[in-house]
Structure 1
């Protein structure tokens, strides 16, 4: 899904380099989740149970406000 790639690519380009080890690991784990689940979370129709994943998702969702 192109939209999903763009959203996740934003975090990779804008945040990955400065992110800590835990955030990088969380991002890598997120990439292993099914696309429909990721899309659901990124659209704000739910949230992952893992707080580390949630932090990355929240950062992506609020990227224009940071």
Structure 2
């Protein structure tokens, strides 16, 4: 079973070692997950497999993600947070 089929497991996977990431991921899953298409859901699940320092650098703008799918998902999440 993928995380996409079990929202509780997905929310658990969003709990990170950094509060800065928790406050991005948890509201995103609660508010936007159901509106994502299947490809976006798969990209988000893969994004959750990345290390916290790497995610932090991408979300804080310290580094640019080289993976185009991840870059688009990071931007989508940041745009949702700003609304």
TM-score, length of structure 2 as denominator length: 0.69
Comparing 29-38 and 7-16, the one that deviates more: 7-16
1:7-30: per-residue Cα shift (whole Å, max 9, x none)?
A: 111221121111011100010001
Matched residue, 2:24: 7
> How far apart in 1 are the matches of 2:48 and 2:72?
14
Match of 1:34 among 36, 44, 51: 51
Q: RMSD over aligned Cα, in angstroms?
A: 1.3
User: Highest relative contact order (Cα 8 Å, sep 6+), 1 or 2?
Assistant: 1
Structure exhibiting the larger radius of gyration computed from Cα positions: 2
Aligned counterparts, 1:25-64, within 5 A: 25-63=42-80, 64=82
Normalised to the residue count of structure 1, the TM-score between the two structures is 0.84
Query: How many aligned residue pairs are there?
Result: 65
Deviation at 1:44, TM superposition (A): 1.2
Moved more, 55-64 or 18-27: 55-64
